[in-house]
Amino acid sequence: MGVTADDVARIAGVSRATVSYVVNDGPRPVSKETAERVREVIRQTGYQPNALARNLRLQRSKTIGLIVPDTHNPYFPEVARGIESIAFERGYSVMLCHSASDLDREIQYVNMFHAQRVPGVIWIPGTNIFEPYHKLKGYGIQTVVIDRLVPHEAVPAVVADNVEGGNLATQHLIDLGHRRIGYISRPVDLSHSSGRFEGYQTTLKKNGIPFDDSLVVKGGFILEDGRRAVQELLAIENPPTAIFAYNDIMAIGGLRALHEAGLHVPDDFSLVGFDDIAQSAFTCPALTTVHLPKFEMGQNGAKLLIALIEKQKPPEEVLTPLSVRLIVRESSGAVSPQHS
């Protein structure tokens, strides 16, 4: 048998009700000295309160729901680490759910959060259908979206300056002499990927380079999709000399395609990614990319959600788009003389 509330009460020399008041932060006040004595007994005995019973009694839990679209991409675990760091500090646990960019899965998880009395959810949409948000709203569950915006809805969100990231990546390649710059887009556009594409287009225009839609191909979510997208761009009649990919996974997959085509990076071809996942510094050659502060984005998302749950004013900084910066490594270089 595990340690019970009665055991804690007996060892601490208090009533069972007092143990409950300490564990649940009320409803009656407990003196600081008594509360500390009870908490010390809980630490020593390893007592674990019945969370389900507590949730039913309070009509909510101390758990934050988190829905991510892709656990294969190291970007999302880094965001999740930031969320967990703040949640743990504030006394919340995190329930992580992987949707695989599947709408039905997202809706099932939303229904589960409602059944579990979860008070708030951080949602990173994997599709451009936002029915899960409307269900969360209908259930009265506080919701924060990370790195996405829900069209026509004032949904609390933590975002980065994706347009500026697209500007930085494209301008870097133009400054290196490239004029035919390919772009690998997300299969289904969301606000973050459309922002990156907007940055690509506006920077071409600013530099007097006509937009060519033959240089834009759809990628995917796994390394093989990046490989395929680069193969597709290399096969067109007048291929690019450089490529900007909407994320690092596409760029890393693309490095393989360039190697298989006998092209040396960056002497023959340049490649730039986005996100700055840890692996991008260890590819060969190391990947030039746009750094997005993933851990901080997760932290800000958790701060914003907990403020909403606890009916507090959110910190001002969590509502300001996070800055991005270009990380120049080895995969980008001057345009090859035969293409200049």
Domain of residue 276, CATH code: 3.40.50.2300
- The residues, any chain, with a CB within 8 Å of residue 214's CB and separated by 6 or more, are 236, 238
Q: Are residues 137 and 278 in the same domain?
A: no
288 and 254 in contact (C-beta within 8 Å)?
no
Q: Which domain holds residue 168?
A: 162-293+325-339
Q: What is the Cα–Cα distance from 172 to 332, expressed in whole angstroms?
A: 9
**Side chain identity, residue 279:** Q
Q: Which pair of tokens denotes residue 63? A: 């758990």
pLDDT at position 256 over 60: yes
Map tokens 């995190």 to a residue: 94
pTM: 0.82
How many domains, in total, are found in the chain? 3
Length of the chain equals 340
In terms of domains, do 271 and 147 share one? Answer: no
Of the pLDDT bands very low, low, confident and very high (cuts 50, 70, 90), residue 340 is: low
Binned at pLDDT 50, 70 and 90, residue 50 comes out as: low
With cut-offs at 50, 70 and 90, classify the pLDDT of residue 56: very low
How far apart are alpha carbons 4 and 9 in whole angstroms? Answer: 9
Report d(CA 84, CA 94) in Å as an integer: 6
Residue 26 has pLDDT above 80, yes or no: no
Check whether residue 245 and residue 331 sit in a common domain.
yes
Residues 207 and 333 in one domain: yes
- d(CA 226, CA 260) in angstroms, rounded, equals 13
300/154 same-domain check:
yes
| Residue 108 domain flag | yes
171 and 260 belong to one structural domain:
yes
Within-domain flag for 54: no
Of the candidates 149, 153, 94, the residue with the CA atom closest to the CA atom of residue 124:
149
Q: Are residues 196 and 87 in the same domain?
A: no
CATH code where residue 40 lies? 1.10.260.40
Tell me: do 79 and 104 sit in the same domain: yes
135 and 88 in a common domain: yes
Per-residue model confidence (pLDDT) at position 338: 73
Residue 55 lies inside a defined structural domain of this protein: no
For the chain, what is the mean pLDDT?
Answer: 92
Does residue 37 fall inside a structural domain?
A: yes
Q: Do both 19 and 151 map to the same domain? A: no
Q: Answer yes or no: do 205 and 78 share one domain.
A: no
- Asked whether residue 58 carries a pLDDT value surpassing 80, the answer given is no
Q: Which of 121-130, 227-236, 315-324 has the lowest mean pLDDT?
A: 315-324
3-state secondary structure of 96: strand
